[in-house]
Structure 1
Amino acid sequence: MKLVKGVPSFDLVSRPWLPVQLCDGTATELSLREVFACAGDVRRLVGDVPSQEFALLRLLLAVLHDAVEGPEDLDAWQELYESPDPFAGIPAYLDRHRERFDLLHPTRPFFQVSDLRTSKDEVASLNRIVADVPNGDPFFTMRQPGVKRLPFAEAARWVVHAHAFDTSGIKSGAVGDPRAKGGKGYPQGVGWAGNLGGVFVEGDSLQQTLLLNLVASDASGLHVGKDDKPAWRREQCGPDVQQGLESRPTGPRDLYTWQSRRIRLHHDDQGVHGVVLSYGDPLVSPDKHLYEPMSGWRRSKPQEKKLGRSPVYMPREHDPSRAAWRSLASLLMSQGQARTGQRDEPPAYLRAGVLKWIAELTYERLLPRDMLIRPRLIGAAYGTQQSVIDEVVDDGVTMSLVLLHEQDQRYATQALGAVEDSNAGVGALCDLAGDLARTAGRDPEAPRETLRDLGFGLLDGPYRQWLAGLGETQDPGEARRAWQRTAYRILRETADGQLAAACETGWLDDASSERIFLSRLNKAFPLRYESGADSGADPERADISKEVSP
């Protein structure tokens, strides 16, 4: 903290607060001005938790979108991407709005309400906004029993994170908020980003990451209003809900900085020691895919019935139990039409807007087909009526851009087919575990779950390596057959170990379980011994009943 004209100040434009990993592997903190100036030498943001990285990236994207006033279209984006200094306008922009980026400003503190208070002037512990503090579970954290004080830089990061991912539950009732009852604010849902299955495209540097996720205003499927702007260009929030929410969100800049909470940090000259936290601007989830590009979406029949319209799309949240490659279809398929036989039936799932945007760039040849990108998946899984964060999902897969090409889906089809092959192969392994357990007179469910986790765990590294190299092959069909051979070998060896252990313990007195397993495994990987002459065959038409001798 420093004093500006005798008033406390922590200026986020010039003071280091954003944690980053540089391209040489070292870690440091940078100011807003520095992070854009050095973006080409920064590998990535590094949050205190993965969800914080996602929230901070969205903040930087809001700054960039607003500074370049778009970009309006592909041509404007291309000019930025090919520029030797794409962020040249950022310093002047930050200077124009510098006052709104002061964490300790006396009347307009960054992402806060200066006079926020409860009727009894209570000040809560910083545990309310620090997401890695356990709620009744003291494991896997260095913050025990809680947080008593934060440096200003870290407090600023948690303020951004709270607006994005704060839990639901009962909060302080702020004076001046008519929603408060008896001094309490009753549950109104999690922060906006907490509803999402967060997706962004990670490049080789922060500069490339920011540009790849900078979706143009005229991109198909995205609505960006002429008045779309971030929180710091709107009226300062009070304790009540902002006026005019019925016409919002206006676009990504609005959503990336959505003020879902009302916050006031309490501090001295050494740091922050308390917080007042209450509910802010509500935002419902249905059909926000028109404005929110950093999530996949699923069609919701219950919401269609409730709202009386169709289709209705809700955010497609991440499953913490599934690795990113096992959910590859949600990343690759833009219009995965439901197989209903009705030509005009709306798709069951929509791909994240940022990935559809990358597909457009690939189709327009503004990015090379053999370029490697890494879609990152970050999201929070909440528990106990969304009052706690149970898990934070953080995963990604490296792939060639050609897999996103909407006019040439050969590579995507084979990549998705390989995932289905893997699912079937692991299913055969699980069935073997169940058969062996029943033979031994045990409940088969626990062994099945154990072998499922083991099978997918063993395939995880090899599949990611195979996927990263898929774009380099001239024959994606042959690559699929190569994957089947690899997966077959891994799962066969795993099964051999299980069978040997069963024989040693006397569970198995004949080879029937082994014969059944091999039959199932052969059906899971029917292409592994086919010749390359049939490389153009549709994998969905492959004769999966064909058995090949092991």
Structure 2
Amino acid sequence: MSSFNLLHQPWIPVRPADGGPVREVGLRELLLNARDFGRIDDPSPLVSVALLRLSLALLHRALKGPRNAGQAAEWFHDGFPAEKLEGYFAEWEASFDLFHPERPFWQVRGLTLDLEGGKYRSHWSRLGTEVGSANTSPLFNAAGRPGGERDDSLSPAQAARRLVEGQTFLLGGLIKRLTTSARAAPVATFALTAAQGRTLHETLCLNLAGYAGQDHDQAVWEREPLTVDTVRLYHEDGRADLPRGRADRYTWPSRSILLLPEVDEDGETRVTSIGFAAGIPLDGPGEGEGSNIDPMVTLRPPSDPKKSERFPLKLRREQLLWRDLSALLPDPQNELQVVGKPGEQTFKPLRGHPPGTLSHARAVLESLGDEAHPLAVSVTGLLSDQGKAFAYRQETYALPTVFVTDEQGFAMQVDRALNDAKAIAEALRQATARLCAEVISRGGARHPHKEDVSALARTLPGLGAYWAALEAPFRVFLAELGTPEDARDRWQTAVAREARRAWEINLRGAGDDGQVLGFAYRPRKVDNKTIPSPQTILDRALAVMNRPPPSALPQETTA
């Protein structure tokens, strides 16, 4: 009978802290010797972050903590209590066997191929979002194209990694196995934020957000082993569950999976086929309240002031995360929401919820008194469209020491810088639309149809070039925030420079002749009102940006 124990067998790829080549380790070595490793380093960032979440769940359950950032800081400095980890490993060792006959790790017992005519049979690639799942587009899944090649089987280590990735990131959709449509994994399309330390040990401690009061929590290996009948009852009764706590959320059985090992002609255990069906339905949109919010998830306030439910931050196809970086930080501006009928209106703060991992990391460093400790933040996510995955992305940003020493001040500076860039982008958009209207009407009195204006504006690449060119200056701005006035001056200079370059691109795209330049500088008079020229729209916005903030303006004095 095949056996592959995830505590002891090597399967997690790690980069040694001394810069050596990537090698594989088991969970026990990973956690007990975490200082020897720089990071978990799988070629797929989805696998790496899924393995990080599994490691955090195991630490939470084994150490029953940390109670707070102070205890996490103690572990950061002194290391994890090895005796507690070893005792927990011994207690649950059998539950980490990938091919255990009674309780296979993170799988559903009895999901065999011959059950009900073999309708649960699937190829192993169903588990990997980027290697051939049913929710992967051919463009993203090069191996799955007609005539393409892919491995016919996995080693136990590879199968374990795909299992963890699939349970974390599989999208919802038609399955017709135990149900008609299965829900997505809890964080399948969310932007997952993790703090990064100099070693894997530091990274683990920085992301072990406070775990007090979660005695009711259970990781998947602590549950009673799931069976096909158990999962079927959920779907027949129309029931769904909420995670019992952090570890339950990190290890949610979003799919019923059973790896089916085979022994090849060389005597090696391989996995080609799997049992595959819907898992335990997750209740609601995937996010709870209080301690049941996933610490890696950022919640944003609603754009509709009549709604109160916050929604998870996702990576977007058309822009990089730096343009939304303020969502990861505490709300600096006390944005207000109007509530009530006219004459009876009141105001309440409209706030998001920054990721608990980043807030915790800052608190740990503050508790250590190590404010100069380098800190980076990585954000990983799967991008999908109509239930189909088309890309994944991981972005990493280095945060300056002022993030630890003055979190609110840092957040205010970032928020203001991004608002500057957005205001100029909007002015650039308006100026371009006015220019397109003039070009279409050839400077005449008639008003062109707005769809014609939009169609022409979409062909001009200036706005996209503007945002692309600002990524590098924004990273420099972050690094220089120790001297905020100088950083802001250089950022505004970069914004103005790139806006003017983008405007030149649009001018050339609209015609690049004297007549187009005339349209750009010519104001229009309508109903005795002067409409500023396209160039003036942009120039005014740049002038407003360069004004000093209200607090810096000279104050009037009285004699």
* 2:183 paired residue among 189, 192, 196: 189
Q: Secondary structure at the match of 1:491?
A: helix
Distance in 2 between the 1:90 and 1:525 partners? 60
CA shift, 1:418, in A, is: 0.7
Tell me, which stretches of 5 or more residues in structure 1 are unaligned? Answer: 1-6, 174-179, 219-223, 543-550
CA shift, 1:482, in A, is: 2.3
Question: What's the counterpart of residue 131 of structure 1?
Answer: 129
Q: Secondary structure at the match of 1:120?
A: helix
Q: How does 1:23-38 map to 2 (within 5 A)?
A: 23=17, 24=19, 26-38=21-33
Distance 1:322 1:241, change over 3 A: farther
Task: Check whether the contact 2:317–2:383 (CA below 8 A) recurs between aligned residues.
Answer: yes
Distance in 2 between the 1:512 and 1:127 partners? 55
Tell me, which stretches of 5 or more residues in structure 2 are unaligned? Answer: 264-268, 340-345, 441-451, 523-532
Distance in 1 between the 2:169 and 2:241 partners? 23
Structure 1: which amino acid aligns with 2:279?
G
Q: Secondary structure at the match of 2:122?
A: coil
* 2:199 paired residue among 194, 205, 213: 205
Question: What's the counterpart of residue 4 of structure 1?
Answer: none
Distance in 1 between the 2:185 and 2:338 partners? 38
CA shift, 1:257, in A, is: 0.8
* 1:461 paired residue among 465, 472, 477: 472
Distance 1:484 1:525, change over 3 A: farther
Distance in 2 between the 1:370 and 1:527 partners? 32
Distance in 2 between the 1:299 and 1:493 partners? 34
Distance 1:320 1:43, change over 3 A: farther
Distance 1:169 1:287, change over 3 A: closer
Q: More deviation in 353-362 or 7-16?
A: 353-362
Structure 1: which amino acid aligns with 2:106?
F
TM-score by length of 2: 0.80
Distance in 1 between the 2:277 and 2:401 partners? 43
Question: What's the counterpart of residue 389 of structure 2?
Answer: 389
CA shift, 1:273, in A, is: 0.6
Structure 2: which amino acid aligns with 1:372?
P
CA shift, 1:436, in A, is: 4.8
Question: What's the counterpart of residue 119 of structure 1?
Answer: 116
CA shift, 1:76, in A, is: 2.1
* 1:11 paired residue among 5, 10, 16: 5
Distance in 1 between the 2:71 and 2:325 partners? 31
Structure 2: which amino acid aligns with 1:318?
L
Q: Does residue 234 in structure 1 map to residue 238 in structure 2? A: no
Task: Check whether the contact 2:11–2:25 (CA below 8 A) recurs between aligned residues.
Answer: yes
Distance in 2 between the 1:138 and 1:317 partners? 23
Q: How does 1:58-457 map to 2 (within 5 A)?
A: 58-84=53-79, 89-117=84-112, 118-122=115-119, 123-134=121-132, 137-141=137-141, 143-144=143-144, 145=148, 148-171=152-175, 173=177, 180=178, 185-194=179-188, 196-218=190-212, 224-241=213-230, 248-269=242-263, 270-284=269-283, 285=285, 287-290=287-290, 291=292, 292-299=294-301, 311-334=308-331, 337-341=334-338, 345=348, 347-361=350-364, 365-384=367-386, 386=387, 388-400=388-400, 402-403=402-403, 409-441=408-440, 443-445=453-455, 447-448=457-458, 450-457=461-468
CA shift, 1:236, in A, is: 0.9
Q: Secondary structure at the match of 1:149?
A: coil
User: 1:472-504: CA deviations, max 9, x gaps?
Assistant: 22xx24421221012212332443455466675
Distance 1:52 1:447, change over 3 A: farther
Task: Check whether the contact 2:15–2:41 (CA below 8 A) recurs between aligned residues.
Answer: yes
How many residues matched? 504
Distance 1:119 1:97, change over 3 A: same
Task: Check whether the contact 2:56–2:204 (CA below 8 A) recurs between aligned residues.
Answer: yes
CA shift, 1:289, in A, is: 4.1
Distance in 2 between the 1:289 and 1:446 partners? 46
Distance 1:92 1:401, change over 3 A: farther
Task: Check whether the contact 1:335–1:350 (CA below 8 A) recurs between aligned residues.
Answer: no
Structure 1: which amino acid aligns with 2:26?
S
Distance in 1 between the 2:303 and 2:496 partners? 38
Distance 1:446 1:154, change over 3 A: farther
CA shift, 1:318, in A, is: 3.0
Distance 1:140 1:297, change over 3 A: closer
Structure 1: which amino acid aligns with 2:248?
D
Question: What's the counterpart of residue 494 of structure 2?
Answer: 486
Q: Secondary structure at the match of 1:143?
A: helix
Q: Secondary structure at the match of 2:368?
A: coil
Q: More deviation in 45-54 or 341-350?
A: 341-350
Distance in 1 between the 2:420 and 2:249 partners? 38
Q: Secondary structure at the match of 2:324?
A: helix
Larger radius of gyration: 2
Question: What's the counterpart of residue 546 of structure 1?
Answer: none
Task: Check whether the contact 1:301–1:312 (CA below 8 A) recurs between aligned residues.
Answer: no
Question: What's the counterpart of residue 177 of structure 1?
Answer: none
Higher relative contact order (CA 8 A, sep 6+): 2
CA shift, 1:521, in A, is: 4.3
Q: More deviation in 503-512 or 43-52?
A: 503-512
Distance in 1 between the 2:329 and 2:479 partners? 14
Q: Secondary structure at the match of 2:110?
A: coil
Identity among equivalent positions (%) equals 25
Structure 1: which amino acid aligns with 2:403?
L
Q: Secondary structure at the match of 1:397?
A: strand
Q: Does residue 520 in structure 1 map to residue 538 in structure 2? A: yes
Structure 1: which amino acid aligns with 2:497?
R
CA shift, 1:189, in A, is: 1.2
User: 1:301-347: CA deviations, max 9, x gaps?
Assistant: 99x99xxxx85444333323221211022111258754225677363
Task: Check whether the contact 1:9–1:102 (CA below 8 A) recurs between aligned residues.
Answer: yes
Question: What's the counterpart of residue 343 of structure 2?
Answer: none
Structure 2: which amino acid aligns with 1:272?
V
